[in-house]
Amino acid sequence: MMHRYWSLLLIPFIFSCAASRHYDPNKKYPSSELQEDFTLLRNVLEEKHPSLYWYTSKDSMDVLFDQSFQTISDSMTELQFGWEVLAPVLAGIRCGHTGFGMSKDWNRFIKNRQIPSFPLFLKVWKDTMMVIGNLNQKDTVIQRGDFVHSINGVSAKEMIAKMFSYMIKDGDANNVNYVRLSNNFPYFHRNIYGLYQNYMVSFSDSNGNMKNHVVPYFSPTSDTSKTNTASIKKQKVRKPSRQEKLQQTRSLKIDSSYALMTLQSFSKGNLRSFFRRSFKEIKAKGIKHLIIDLRENGGGEVKRYVLLTKYLRNTPFKVADSVYSIEKNFKPFTNRISNGFFNNLSLLFSTKKQQDQYYHFGYWEKTFFSPKHRNHFDGKIYILTDGLTFSASALFCKTLKGQENVTLIGEETGGSGYGNSGIMIPDINLPNTKMRVRLPFFKVVQFEHGEKNGRGVMPDIEVPTNWRDVLNRVDTQLEVVKKLIQEEDN
């Protein structure tokens, strides 16, 4: 029998607590304080969240709120409160911008620390989980490329479904959570299932042979952590230059037959000058094929995606058919909202109540943006998408989808194809635990939106996961685009 060990979550902290005198991760908050935090959160969401009942009915949300409140019957640590109480109720809203964050003290404390966890990194898609890494380097039984069928008797299908019930998303666009699990399966498994001293893993190897193996949890030792800390202090790590940081955020690479523009954000990277230089260079070199990689672009500033769209869209467009809030300010919760006073002031001048009794952000609803004439790109455009293509980057995809020279390639975006909640997204600051919950203030219905079916923006050419390419570190989707370009040129 496998035994669950919640206390083991904090093993590495035993030797390091002296280094953080003002924060104790083992501290348990009394149920009365946790209930106070939860009640405040519920009140704010019910009064201010514009899309609380967009995908989940009020009756269902009321049940979820009540059930979550009832789980606060005893004291909890901050970590337990976040994952056992907040995570399920926020996931139930089905809004990808409404998630919780740990307190600032927790984040400072955990920075650069490793904590015990399930040791296997898994690539997750559909009902499949494939090993891509192992924190227990001495364990050679389970190999990269093996397929995991169950952990502690829980099947892969059942496990993925449960983990999704703790993870936020837009509507039913679960592709974002497949990517999140693939990027850090140990993190989510530890926080959702807890920690076990040993795990019974049922798996099959590359030849299809079924096997069972008991896998110990990964635990950095105190000695190792002390050594690593001392080593880090002694090492002189070269900081990346400003230009290197910019290249990590956005880049342009020009091949003889195409240009590849990679954008990881619509917020950072001096994008205005980057776009101007990039499209000038693309035109000067006579490039006829442009690939835009948005597979790690979680969104950012609306005005930046609008700017990029101007270089690519052939007809005028606007951001949304409707952008509105259900309230005109954050009162009476202003003191619990990050930058509450200034946000209220901004809303006073940017919104106006209309006949539907909602407060509309008229600029994004009414303003049509015209395509640029100078350095406008008129060749073939290929946009790479996956689950991490979210928020503003999903709006960008939807605005260009259907244009004759545009092809979306890859996987369904994590951001909704109908609309989302955002524009202004401050934090709700919980008074006792100091945890934070993001509060999108406006409901955004996408320009030229289709049916509200809960899905993301669908690719024109779907390129699903190819497990052999994953093992060989081949970029399947990019290779598909290169082949299309080659065929086009021939």
* Alpha-carbon separation of residue 200 from 51, 108, 118, 194 (angstroms): 41, 34, 11, 14
**Helix locations, 401-475, DSSP H:** 467-471
pLDDT tens-digit readout, 282-323 = 999 999 999 999 999 999 999 999 999 999 999 999 999 999
H helix or E strand, kind and range, residue 101: strand 100-101
State percent of the chain over pLDDT 90: 80
- Give residue 118's pLDDT: 95
Looking at the predicted structure, is the pLDDT value of residue 17 above 50?
no
Where does the pLDDT of residue 246 fall: very low under 50, low under 70, confident under 90, or very high at 90 and above? confident
H helix or E strand, kind and range, residue 233: helix 222-234
Rounded-to-integer distance, Cα 28 and Cα 405, Å: 58
- Give residue 5's pLDDT: 54
Residue 372 zone, left/alpha/beta (φ > 0; ψ -120 to 50; rest) = beta
| 259-263 and 289-293 strand pairing | parallel
Q: What is the DSSP secondary structure assignment for residue 392, as one 8-state letter? A: H
Q: Residues 423, 475: contact at Cβ < 8 Å?
A: no
- pTM greater than the 0.85 cutoff: yes
CA-wise closest residue to 430 among 95, 106, 33, 137: 33
Flag the least confident range among 75-89, 234-248, 265-279, 307-321. 234-248
Q: Helices 302-310 and 392-400 sit at what angle, rounded to 10 degrees?
A: 30
- Give residue 167's pLDDT: 96
pLDDT tens-digit readout, 123-166 = 999 999 999 999 998 888 999 999 999 999 999 999 999 999 99
SS3 442: strand
Beta-carbon count within 10 A of 463 CB: 19
Looking at the predicted structure, is the pLDDT value of residue 94 above 50?
yes
Where does the pLDDT of residue 236 fall: very low under 50, low under 70, confident under 90, or very high at 90 and above? low
Rounded-to-integer distance, Cα 429 and Cα 303, Å: 28
* Alpha-carbon separation of residue 172 from 93, 450, 452 (angstroms): 11, 15, 10
- Give residue 230's pLDDT: 44
pLDDT tens-digit readout, 400-449 = 999 999 999 999 999 999 999 999 999 999 999 999 999 999 999 999 88
Tell me the DSSP string of 333-380.
SGGGBTTHHHHHHHHHHH-EE-TTS-EE-HHHHH--BPPPSTT---SE
CA-wise closest residue to 377 among 479, 258, 225: 258
Flag the least confident range among 164-168, 169-173, 204-208. 204-208
- Give residue 15's pLDDT: 36
* Alpha-carbon separation of residue 454 from 33, 97, 172, 295, 382 (angstroms): 36, 15, 5, 20, 24
Rounded-to-integer distance, Cα 430 and Cα 438, Å: 11
Residue 305, CB-side half-sphere exposure with 13 Å CA sphere: 28
Where does the pLDDT of residue 268 fall: very low under 50, low under 70, confident under 90, or very high at 90 and above? confident
- Give residue 375's pLDDT: 96
Looking at the predicted structure, is the pLDDT value of residue 122 above 70?
yes
- Give residue 238's pLDDT: 66
Looking at the predicted structure, is the pLDDT value of residue 12 above 60?
no
Which residues are CB-neighbours of 111 under 8 A, at least 6 positions away?
none
Could you tell me the two tokens for 488?
């086009």
Could you tell me the two tokens for 266?
């619509």
The residue-averaged pLDDT of 65-89 equals 95
- Residue 248: what residue type? Q
- Give residue 448's pLDDT: 86
Rounded-to-integer distance, Cα 466 and Cα 469, Å: 5
- Give residue 229's pLDDT: 45
pLDDT tens-digit readout, 378-394 = 999 999 999 999 999 99
- Give residue 16's pLDDT: 40
- Give residue 23's pLDDT: 83
**At 443, phi and psi to the nearest 5?**
-90, 130
SS3 168: coil
CA-wise closest residue to 441 among 334, 323, 336, 349: 323
* Alpha-carbon separation of residue 38 from 54, 90, 335, 440 (angstroms): 21, 11, 16, 18
Where does the pLDDT of residue 335 fall: very low under 50, low under 70, confident under 90, or very high at 90 and above? very high
pLDDT tens-digit readout, 358-377 = 999 999 999 999 999 999 99
- Give residue 249's pLDDT: 85
Cis peptide before 88 (omega within 30 of 0): no
